[in-house]
Amino acid sequence: MRQDGRVADSLLALLSRDWLGVPVAVLVVAAGGGLVGTGTAWAVALGGPVMAVGVLLAAGAARHLVLVAREARGHPPPGRLVDVGGHRMHLLAEGEAGGGPTVVWVPGGHTPGEELGELHTMLSARARSVLVDRLGTGRSDVGPFPRTTAVEAQELPAALEEAGERAPFVFVGHSFGGLLVANVARRRPDLVAGLVLLDPTPLEVIAFAPPNRRLAAMRRGLLLTAVRQLFGGRRGPGCRTGPGCAAASVFAELTPSGLAKVGWETVVYDGDLGDLPLVLVIPRDLIGGEAVLAGARDAAEAERISRFYLRSRTRYLAASTSSRLVYTPEGTGHDFPHEAPEFVVGVVEDLVRELGPVSP
């Protein structure tokens, strides 16, 4: 199994290289030419189309490289690129701390920092605020494979320290980003003044929830998109193949079997965060998440599934003895950071005020 994992990681690392399409196309053209060169009728009949496919792939690969270069020129990094283990990570830091902690935003999934850009902009007018493109997202390098929560929990504080941002920090994480920042707090409590977890992903929903094919389908979609991009199948912002490969790598651990391998390194368990101030922000119901009930066999199972998800949402409260629960506005669901940005910024500001002046 480990060997299979290493092979998969190597393939993902290779697919994340935007230049890969060129040698692949050359090999296809060469294979077609080799068939034609044999002179046999069947080989010549097959070799011609193979060469034609290779030429089309080469044209697509060249187009892809042009699009990547054009995107890099047209969208220069607005922040700083700092070195993390030989890879460049992009951070956008704005605003003045004013003696209080610096706020660091980490969006859900494996998405770039700009997913929470509106919240960052609102808060940076009154506090020091940092958006981070994790390796494999946004304007950051792809980074090493495999991409895992445990690895990213080491990279994030390393990037902040390399950028000269002064601890302690208030980390704000949404969904999978909440799982990540809770891991940062467990590993580096010396850097953390408080946590705001925005409907963070509890590992129970990966390990014990009813079978969920959406994550597997999402991972397949990311890989297919990366292949299409490699041969010019997508244009405009986000045309690089690396982000899709990095996300596919991270999502590999978010399965029951994947979690069994990394659970001890990834879980944040009862009491792990001591008395760290922790604000858990969750919706009251499953608005926006009705799809999890679609596979229920009957009303009784639907009720059990609903209860499981609603109860698991409160799981992180037990991680700290200084935690509290805040419900999102009525009618909002898991995507509430986009549905109610003023509310989220207000919750973060409240915690920053409560913490008051901090010593670096």
Nearest partner of 12 among 249, 227, 250, 234, judged by Cα: 249
Rounded CA-CA distance 47/53 in Å is: 10
Q: For the segment 153-186, what is each residue's pLDDT rounded down to a tens digit?
A: 999 999 999 999 999 999 999 999 999 999 999 9
Mean pLDDT of the residues in the chain: 92
- Stated pTM of the model: 0.91
Percent of the chain exceeding pLDDT 70 equals 97
The percent of residues in the chain predicted with pLDDT above 90, rounded, is 71
Query: What amino acid is encoded at 277 in this protein?
Result: P
pLDDT given at position 297: 85
Q: Distance (Å, rounded) from C-alpha 225 to C-alpha 207?
A: 27
* DSSP conformation letters of 72-110: HHHS--SSEEEEETTEEEEEEEES--TTSPEEEEE-STT
* 3-class SS shares of the chain: helix, strand, coil, % to 5: 55, 15, 35
> How many angstroms separate the CA atoms of 242 and 141, rounded?
8
CATH homologous superfamily, domain 88-203+267-355: Alpha/Beta hydrolase fold, catalytic domain (3.40.50.1820)
pLDDT at residue 206 in the model:
87
At 359 the pLDDT is 72
Q: Are 43 and 32 in contact (CB under 8 A)?
A: no
- Residue 239, pLDDT > 80, answer no
Give me the pLDDT at residue 1, please: 47
Binning pLDDT at 50, 70 and 90, where does residue 205 land?
confident
Q: What is the pLDDT of residue 8?
A: 86
Phi, psi of 238, rounded to the nearest 5 degrees:
85, 25
List the domain boundaries for the chain: 2-76+216-230, 88-203+267-355
| pLDDT tens-digit series, residues 293-337 | 777 889 898 899 889 999 999 999 999 999 999 999 999 999 999
Asked if residue 240 lies in contact with residue 154, where contact means CB atoms within 8 angstroms, the answer is: no
Beta-carbon neighbour count of residue 31 at 10 Å?
16
pLDDT of residue 235: 53
Q: Which residues contact 94 (CB under 8 A, 6 or more apart)?
A: 120, 121, 124, 128, 129
- Which tens digit of pLDDT belongs to each residue from 97-120? 888 999 999 999 999 999 999 999
pLDDT at position 22 is 95
- Is pLDDT at 42 greater than 60 in this prediction? yes
